Amino acid sequence: MSNGDVFVGEIIGTAILILFGAGVRAAVPLRYSKARASGWVVIAFGWGFGVPAGAYTAAPLSGGHLNPAVTRDRRRHW
């Protein structure tokens, strides 16, 4: 896997993460949105769904290292 593949995978995964997270946050205050005044629970679910969606999308190209909770370092430094 080349550095270009890793870079493209991280860009796509981060774009999906931000699309879901910021998209649901933007939809809540919109006047004619189906998510109008739905509150923080919907925003939390949007971000919570965006993290694994971005990580699973980026996994074949870069290993899905968008979030440190997803990253598993195989090297031991301690």
Q: Is residue 14 part of a domain?
A: yes
Q: Does 68 reside within a domain?
A: no
Q: Which residue shows structure tokens 């968008």?
A: 66
In this structure, the number of other CB atoms found within 10 A of the CB of residue 20 comes to: 20
In a domain, 11, yes or no: yes
- What average pLDDT does the segment 40-53 reach? 90
Average pLDDT over residues 22-28: 89
Position 17 in a domain: yes
Query: Does the pLDDT value for residue 78 go beyond 50?
Result: no
The string of pLDDT tens digits covering residues 31-45 is: 888 878 888 888 899
Q: Hey, how many other C-beta atoms are within 10 angstroms of the C-beta on 17?
A: 22
Q: How many domains does the chain have?
A: 1
pTM of the model: 0.74
Provide the domain limits for residue 55.
3-62
Cβ-based neighbours of 75, under 8 Å, separated by 6 or more: none
